[in-house]
Each structure stands twice: as structure tokens, then as C-alpha cells.
Chains A and B, each alone.
Chain A
Amino acid sequence: MAEMNVAGGGGHKKGPKKVRGKKMSTRVDLTAMVDLGFLLITFFMLATTMNKPKTMEVNKPAKEDKKDEKEEPPIKMSKTATLMLGANNKLYAYVSPDAIDPDTELEIDSLDYSPRGLRKFIQRRQSEVGAQWGDPELLFVMIKPLPSSSVKNIVDVLDEMTISDVKRYAIMEPNDPIDSLIALMTGQSRE
């Protein structure tokens, strides 16, 4: 250290250097301590940042609200879209007809959870509902998870509702006859 020896040798400029060197300073070499300090800092920094990304939450719609919804005058099926979540990351989407008569044809889309699949379908429905009823926000999405679908699937769908800005959606039981039919056709178990 540069200043270390100044105090001791100040008065004797002519004096032999050996004498100066032998004077003991009270200063301690802190290099090792700093090393240790930074090592621990590194450890704690890594330990904290690893924990942080896991603190996010999703709010789910209440089931009770759905019951109220059912008791209100039923929603026009042409304002809805139904998503059925199956096993192995399968997703089926359909639009129930307002009334079923012998000529009714039902179109079922098999989608994936990517932006090109699900998001495109939702956006298409939003624009259709917007064209028919004047407001794309009237779209009501019914999410029907089959028992063998995974939590990830539900989170993905709920997430997609937020991204596509769907205001009205609900998680429901797949109890429509059409649901049973689709489950049967696609080999998805309802148990």
C-alpha cells in the first residue's frame, strides 16, 4: 500500500531503508475479505433472481357467476364460441347453431394452442360477432375442459382470452350433447 509507510519514515529521509521496512503497520490487507464479500454477493444475487419469475397469478372467473348467467335469458348461440380441451394438448372449437334442425351443419375446428391456431379462431369469431351484432365484445367464449386435459391447457386458454381481450368467458362442464358427440368422434374420454 502506498501510504502505508509514510508515517513511520517521515522524519528520516537519509535513514537506511531497512529500518523503515521493519515498522509494522496497523493496516490489514483487505483483498481476501473483498473476495469473500463478492463471492457471497454473487451467491445471494443468484439465489434471489431465481425465485422471482414464479410470482405471477391468474384470476379465474367464478363458477357461481356462470350459474347466474344460465338463469338469465340464454345467450344467443351465434354470439358464442365453444372451446373444448382434450387430452394430449388437443383443442376443438365450434360454434353452436341457434337452433338445430335437420339441415344444421356443425363445423368443428381442431386447433392448437399457438397464436396461429387458437388466437386466429378467437379473432375470427370476434370479427364475425362484431359484424352480426355490432360489437365484438359481445363474444362469449365457453371453455370446456375434458377431465384429461391438463392445467397448462387451461392456463393457455385463459391467457389467450386476456391477450385477445375477450371480456366474457367461462369455464364450464362439457355437458352439451354436442360436446359428447365431439368427444365420441375424436376418441376423447369423458371420464
Chain B
Amino acid sequence: MPKVKIPRKSTAVDMTAMCDVAFLLLTFFILTTKFRPQEAVQIDIPSSTAQIPIPESNIMMFQISPDGRLFFGLDDQFTRMKLLDRLSSTYNLSFTEEERETFRLLETWGVDIRNLPQFLGMDPDARAKFQQPGLNIDTTGGNHQVEDLILFSRQENNDLRIAIKGDKTTEYRYFDKLINALQNRKVNKFNLITSARTAQE
């Protein structure tokens, strides 16, 4: 009787396979995650039933904050650098190598172009806290900063799509100014960024 004793089995399970699966999934999610870049301003986008996804690349993004400040961003770092070269020659600005590097990594910005060297030269922490005044869209005195941005960027990268991201509460007057600037540069097609919603019945 003692000889027929059934060998005792442990309740512990082999974790190897589970561990493999877990890390496989983990790798997948790490690779597919795109973190939202730090935004210059908080924007709460309106929702719509539009189903067209945003193009993956070649986007020129304008953001309009609720108080009407305008921000600009290019997704492609190569185009960004070319834009900076064009800006520095047109506006007679000079940038140090460090400032150029900062600009290359800057997702969105909204300052007067003439103040750009100063803005880029700021301490990173100070720049994050700095309340950016928005692009100068005022065209008095032959000043066409926003139009120049549109023109130069499109000349450097012909495939650019233009996206406008406005806050729900942004008033139309600010929006209208931007559209006018775009249309002065013969841009008649642009995309409004919205979040998904199903149609109400």
C-alpha cells in the first residue's frame, strides 16, 4: 500500500510560455504606441461623424486656442529645418547650432517669427512654462508671417496637407483670419481635425 502512493504534484504552473506571450504583446504595444507630443496649448477638439483618417505624414498643422492664439507645427523634421533656413534668410535671423537643434525637435510653436531666436534660445524649462503669444497673423505694414510660413513650407515639401485644429469654443473670427491667409496662398483645401462621433438619430 505505501508503494502505490501516487506521486504528489505541485500546484505551480510553468510560467515560461505565459511570460513569452506577455513580452511579445508588450513589444507590440511599445512599438505601436505613439505618445502625444507635448502641446503648446490645450485644445479640446469638436466631434463629428467624419470618418476620414488623418494622413500619417506630411502634415502642416495649425492650432487655434480658445483665446484665438495661433500655433504652427510641421511633422517632418527635415522640412522643419528647411523652413528654418528660409525664415532665417527672409527675416535676417541667425540661429546657433543649438537653437537649430531645438527647432528641429519643436512640435508646435506660436511666437512672432522675429522673436524666434530668442524663443529657441530659452532654457527648456522656461520655454515649457512660457506663455506663447501665438503667431503674428496681423498683416499691417506688409507683414505676412503666416502666409510666409505656408508658402515656404509648401515650397520645401510639395506633399504637405494642411490641417486645422481648433478648440470647440474658438470663435470663427480667428478661424476666418487663418483661412484668409491660406487662401491668399492659394490653399483651398484643408482639413479640420475632429474626434469621432456617431450620428445622432
Contacts and interface: CB of A to CB of B under 8 A. Distances in A.
Given A58-B50, A60-B192, A154-B172, A41 B26 contact: yes
Contacts of A152: 46, 168-169
A37 interface: yes
Contacts of A2: 9-10, 12
B166 A151 contact: yes
- The interface size bin for chain A is 35 or more
Interface in B1-39: 9-10, 12-16, 18-19, 22-23, 25-26, 29-30, 32-36
B12 A64 contact: no
A41 B21 CA distance: 11
Interface of A: 1-4, 29-31, 33-34, 37-38, 40-41, 44-45, 47-48, 51, 53-60, 62-65, 85, 114-115, 145-156, 158-159, 162-163
20 contacts: A2-B10, A31-B15, A34-B15, A40-B26, A48-B29, A48-B32, A48-B34, A56-B196, A57-B50, A57-B193, A58-B50, A59-B189, A60-B192, A63-B179, A64-B183, A147-B172, A158-B192, A159-B48, A159-B50, A163-B49
Interface stretch (B51-59, B103-111, B149-157): B51-59
A115 B192 contact: no
A101 B25 CA distance: 73
B168 A159 contact: no
B12 A56 contact: no
A145 B170 CA distance: 13
A148 to B, nearest CB: 5
Most buried by B among A65, A147, A150: A150
Given A41-B25, A151-B166, A151-B170, A54 B195 contact: yes
Given A55-B53, A57-B191, A60-B192, A37 B23 contact: yes
Contacts of B173: 147-148
B33 A64 contact: no
Nearest to A33: B19
Given A29-B15, A30-B15, A145-B176, 6 more contacts: A1-B13, A37-B23, A57-B53, A148-B173, A151-B170, A154-B192
B163 interface: yes
Contacts of A34: 15, 18-19, 22
Interface residues of B, number: 57
B105 to A, nearest CB: 20
B19 A159 contact: no
Contacts of A151: 46, 64, 166-172, 175, 192
Contact of B188 (A37, A64, A149): A64
A47 B191 CA distance: 25
Nearest to B10: A2
Contacts of B29: 41, 44-45, 48
Interface string B55-99: 000000000100000000000000000000000000000000000
Contacts of B26: 37, 40-41, 44
A30 B19 contact: yes
Contact of B171 (A4, A45, A114, A147): A147
Contacts of B25: 37, 41
Contacts of A63: 179, 183, 188
Interface string B157-199: 0000001001111111101100100010010111111111001
B168 to A, nearest CB: 4
A56 B195 contact: yes
Contact of A47 (B35, B52, B175, B189): B35
Given A37-B19, A57-B53, A115-B200, A147 B193 contact: no
